[in-house]
Amino acid sequence: MEVNKLINSINDAVSEVFDGSTIMIGGFGEAGSPVELIHALIDNGSRNLTIIANNAGNGRIGLGALIGQRQVNKVICSFARSHKSITFKEQYEKNEIELEVVPQGTLAERIRSAGAGIPGFYTATAVGTPLANGKESKMFDGKEYILEKALSADFAFVKAENADRYGNLSFNKTARNFNPIMCMAAKQTIVQVKNFIDVKETDPEKVITPGIFVDKIVEVKNPLIETHAIENGEVYP
């Protein structure tokens, strides 16, 4: 029997998501955003979700659509303000969705910490700003730092370029971004991949995310390009 994490149906891949799940969604802007997995989650219909991502979605596809479907209660992100971010803005202005703003590097490190078994770490980022309010602080060598806590999730949705049956991943250019660290930080990591490759093609020196951090893989050969989809006014579902 061989390890093989490939799932044939994208709907099966997200079938374990439940109401009230916390879900990390990879990507920075459209680069590395697992749009098709999010669409499968819209089909799945789970509600009261907490989303951890860098942004709060653009247009009415992907995360923008998920929010538009009112499946999301709360977004934890660094940058929810964009002229293309329609659905989040609509709900935020009516107090219908909660927002936790986290500095981008702190967000990344909190996610990596969860994956690395570190419950908390100190950082100078945000010291003296409103985002330090309510946080413990501590001096190291005469300088003030605040305590930031690990951020984990029930699921991570990730987009990769190549994956083998073990879940060894590589990414395309700046589509790497949050994806590798989110793979580490969730109880179940689900990956949409452009190319499912034979394990013999995996170079052990070039694996970015080792399979130990991956649970399910689904192949999406021609993922939607967000810029084009928004220009064309595409909407999901």
Partner 1 sequence: MMKSKLKTLKLGWTRNQIASKIANDLPHGSYVNLGIGMPELVSQFVEENKEIIYHSENGLLGMGPPALENEVDYELINAGKKPVTILPGGSFCHHADSFSMIRGGHIDICVLGAMEVSENGDLANWTTGKGIPAVGGAMDLVAGAKNIFVMTDHLTKYGEPKLLKECSLPLTGKSVVTRVYTNYAIFGIEKSGFKLLEINEDINFDYLKKCTEGKIIQ
The footprint of partner 1 on residues 95-114 (CB under 8 A) is 99, 101-109, 111-112, 114
Residue type, 223: P
Number of Cβ within 10 Å of residue 209's Cβ equals: 24
Peptide bond into 237 cis (omega under 30): yes
With CB under 8 A as the contact rule, which of the stretches 52-60, 84-92, 113-121, 191-199 interacts with a copy of itself?
A: 113-121
Angle at CA 171, nearest 5°, toward 220 and 178?
A: 100
Of the candidate residues 36, 109, 164, 226, the single one contacting a copy of itself (CB under 8 A): 109
CA torsion through residues 153, 101, 45, 213, sign: negative
- Sole binder of partner 1 in the list 16, 135, 154, 210 (CB under 8 A): 210
Candidate segments 7-15, 17-25, 35-43, 74-82, binder of partner 1 by CB under 8 A? 74-82
- Burial label for 95, CB within 10 Å (0-12, 13-18, 19+), is exposed
Nearer to partner 1, 44 or 131 (CB): 131
Q: Does 140 bind a copy of itself (CB under 8 A)?
A: yes
104 binds, among a copy of itself, partner 1, none (CB under 5 to 8 A by kind): partner 1
Q: Residue 104, interface with a copy of itself (CB under 8 A)? A: no
Q: For residue 235, state whether it binds a copy of itself (rule: CB under 8 A).
A: no
Residue list 126-145, contact with partner 1 (CB under 8 A)? 126-131
**Is the CA virtual torsion 15, 64, 188, 52 positive or negative?**
negative
Residue 164 interacts, among partner 1, a copy of itself, none and using kind-specific CB cut-offs from 5 to 8 Å, with partner 1
- The one-character DSSP state at 61 is S
Decide whether 124 or 235 has the Cβ nearer to a copy of itself: 124
Instruction: Encode 142-175 in three state secondary structure.
Output: CEEEEEEECCCEEEEEEEEEEECCCCCEECCHHH
Residues near a copy of itself, by CB under 8 A = 109, 113, 116-124, 138, 140-141, 143, 145, 149, 170-171, 173, 204-206
